[in-house]
């Protein structure tokens, strides 16, 4: 590689870069952008497919509602995503940065702004207005994951959008506008923490964009790879933290090699240093893959252990255990019932101690979707033996009222039933 002499100009301009890797990156970016903006409009079971509802502190996730006191499920899922992200980075490098990061996708689709801004005058104003409009849409789409899009639009035009929503929208849009207008890829090189920690995540077999030093003689020092780099680096200088693995240098070099009749991949994708054998099953990759798989199994297990009904039972402090006129033991319990589903349910209550049958009042409770109710339940039964505390099972069998033929499910809590002294 010769970097001391100025880059030579080829007589015939090379084919414009960007018709291979860049085209695929744009396609991936378009799919991700459409998904991110359109997902809040998708409804599953009457609710948004993915939205955190702040007033009720519930996460709606593709037909399932996760309450705040169930966020251990989200924690398990977050652990899985973290380990998966680390695994992908270790094996395939900065694929996220170059192909899926919102910063990269938005920067790619606002490249026209740089060209129009250089013209000055009306084109520059139009470019600024277009970028600002895009930022307003992106800022609004972020709010749609907390406020339903249709509801937000209705309240926006009615003038009843909360001040906090206005402030958040304005702050997000303005920060994004400043980023796309003046910061752009400098965010990747100077601010993003992921670029700083990639040195600890990469190893000798990670997939990277690299310059094949074995073929230095094939380099004509045209400088095309450096000119198209969005972060302003020269790939011939080796692996650098600023590289986002976008592959634009590959697209710039390949047509030149083809015109000169030389083999491709002077600059290309390599697992580690060019010429080294590829080893995907490395100890670090296997360890991270195992950890990611274990965290995925944990997430599935935790999610499967959820029940649509939450039940909390405690003895009523306002009721002293006593004997009824019939001689049966009477206890009262304080219940907290929470319907975590999106459908109304019927809950049948019961208390069991050995083979004793108890009369529970009320025996049936109707709960609306998402309803949380506290109530006092009285249990009466013939308990033989001396006065004592007996371990009992309080059960709540519940069923979706819209699915009469579905099998009922049940939750159970252990309580202490007091057998009082006889009169």
DSSP state of 278: P
Per-residue pLDDT at 260: 93
DSSP state of 420: P
Assess contact for 400 and 368: CB atoms under 8 A.
no
Assess contact for 418 and 389: CB atoms under 8 A.
yes
Per-residue pLDDT at 4: 41
Distances (CA, A) of 422 to 331, 348, 419: 14, 30, 9
Model confidence at 133, pLDDT cuts 50, 70, 90, reads very high
Question: Can you tell me which residue has the tokens 């339903």?
Answer: 148
Measured over the CA atoms of residue 224, residue 225, residue 228 and residue 232, the dihedral's sign is negative
**Is residue 301 exposed (0-12), middle (13-18) or buried (19+ Cβ within 10 Å)?**
exposed
pLDDT digits over 268-290, tens only? 999 988 887 777 788 999 999 99
Do you find a cis peptide bond into 362, omega within 30 degrees of 0? Answer: yes
Locate 35 and state its tokens: 């998904």
Name the percent of the chain lying above pLDDT 90.
Answer: 60
pLDDT digits over 38-73, tens only? 999 999 878 899 999 998 888 999 988 888 888 899
Helix (H, G, I), strand (E, B) or coil at 38: helix
Nearest in space to 206 (alpha carbons), one of 86, 105, 295: 86
Per-residue pLDDT at 204: 86
Fold adopted by 309-419: Immunoglobulin-like (2.60.40)
Long-range contacts of 149-158 (CB under 8 A, 24+ apart): 149/40, 149/41
**Is residue 317 exposed (0-12), middle (13-18) or buried (19+ Cβ within 10 Å)?**
exposed
391 beta partners: 416
Long-range contacts of 256-259 (CB under 8 A, 24+ apart): 256/10, 256/14, 256/220, 256/222, 256/224, 257/218, 259/10, 259/12, 259/14
Distances (CA, A) of 318 to 24, 156, 362, 422: 69, 49, 17, 21
Domain ranges of the chain: 1-306, 309-419
Model confidence at 19, pLDDT cuts 50, 70, 90, reads low
CA 135 to chain centre: 21
* CA distance linking residue 117 with residue 194, whole number of Å: 30
Radius of gyration over every alpha carbon of the chain, rounded to an integer in angstroms: 32
Q: Which of 127-136, 383-392, 398-407 has the lowest mean pLDDT?
A: 398-407
350 beta partners: 395
Assess contact for 54 and 165: CB atoms under 8 A.
no
Per-residue pLDDT at 158: 92
pLDDT digits over 148-189, tens only? 999 999 999 999 999 999 999 999 999 999 999 988 888 888
Per-residue pLDDT at 403: 65
Report angle CA 17, 20, 26 to the nearest 5 degrees.
95
* CA distance linking residue 51 with residue 389, whole number of Å: 46
* CA distance linking residue 264 with residue 312, whole number of Å: 68
Question: Can you tell me which residue has the tokens 């690299």?
Answer: 210
With the CA atoms of 11, 12, 17 and 20 taken in that order, what torsion angle do they form, in degrees rounded to the nearest 10?
A: -130
With the CA atoms of 339, 345, 346 and 352 taken in that order, what torsion angle do they form, in degrees rounded to the nearest 10?
A: -40
Q: Give 126-161 as a DSSP string.
A: HHHHHHHHHHHHHHHHHHTTTS-HHHHHHHHHHT--
The whole-chain average pLDDT of the chain stands at 88
pLDDT digits over 350-369, tens only? 998 877 889 999 999 999 98
3-state secondary structure 66-91: EEHHHCHHHHHHHHHHHHHHHHHHHH
Assess contact for 146 and 153: CB atoms under 8 A.
no
Nearest in space to 343 (alpha carbons), one of 65, 30, 52, 17: 65
DSSP state of 184: T
**Is residue 263 exposed (0-12), middle (13-18) or buried (19+ Cβ within 10 Å)?**
exposed
Per-residue pLDDT at 343: 85
Q: Which helix (H) or strand (E) holds 284?
A: helix 283-304
């Amino acid at each position: 590689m010769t970097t001391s002499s100025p880059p030579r100009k080829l007589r015939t301009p090379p084919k414009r870069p960007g018709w291979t890797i860049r085209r695929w990156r744009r396609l991936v970016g378009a799919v991700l952008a459409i998904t991110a903006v359109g997902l809040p409009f998708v409804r599953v079971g009457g609710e948004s497919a993915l939205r955190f509802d702040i007033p009720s502190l519930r996460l709606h996730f593709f037909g399932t509602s996760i309450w705040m006191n169930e966020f251990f499920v989200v924690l398990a899922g977050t652990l899985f995503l973290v380990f998966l992200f680390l695994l992908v980075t270790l094996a395939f490098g900065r694929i996220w940065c170059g192909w899926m990061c919102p910063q990269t996708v938005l920067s790619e689709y606002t490249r026209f702004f740089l060209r129009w801004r250089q013209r000055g005058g009306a084109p520059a104003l139009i470019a600024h207005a277009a970028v600002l409009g895009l930022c307003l849409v992106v800022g609004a789409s972020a709010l749609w994951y907390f406020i339903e899009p249709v509801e937000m639009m209705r309240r926006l035009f009615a003038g009843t959008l909360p001040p906090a929503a206005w402030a958040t929208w304005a702050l997000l849009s303005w920060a994004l506008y400043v980023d796309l207008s003046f910061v752009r890829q400098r965010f990747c090189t100077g601010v993003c923490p992921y670029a700083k920690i990639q040195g600890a995540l990469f190893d000798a077999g990670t997939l990277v964009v690299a310059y094949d030093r074995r073929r230095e003689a094939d380099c004509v020092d045209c400088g095309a790879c450096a000119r198209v780099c969005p972060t302003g680096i020269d790939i011939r200088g080796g692996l650098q933290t600023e590289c986002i693995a976008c592959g634009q240098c590959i697209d710039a070099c390949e047509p030149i090699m083809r015109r000169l009749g030389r083999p491709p991949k002077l600059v290309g994708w390599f697992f580690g240093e060019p010429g080294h054998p590829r080893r995907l099953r490395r100890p670090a990759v296997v360890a991270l893959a195992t950890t990611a798989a274990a965290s995925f199994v944990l997430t599935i297990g935790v999610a499967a252990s959820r029940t649509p009904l939450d039940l909390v039972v405690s003895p009523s402090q306002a009721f002293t255990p006593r004997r009824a006129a019939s001689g049966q033991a009477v206890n009262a319990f304080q219940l907290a019932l929470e319907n975590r589903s999106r459908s109304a349910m019927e809950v049948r209550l019961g208390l069991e101690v050995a083979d004793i049958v108890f009369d529970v009042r009320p025996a049936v409770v109707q709960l609306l979707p998402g309803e949380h109710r506290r109530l006092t339940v009285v249990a009466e039964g013939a308990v033989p033996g001396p006065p004592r505390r007996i371990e009992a099972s309080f059960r709540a069998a519940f069923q979706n009222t819209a699915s009469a033929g579905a099998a009922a499910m049940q939750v159970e809590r252990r309580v202490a039933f007091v057998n009082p002294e006889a009169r």
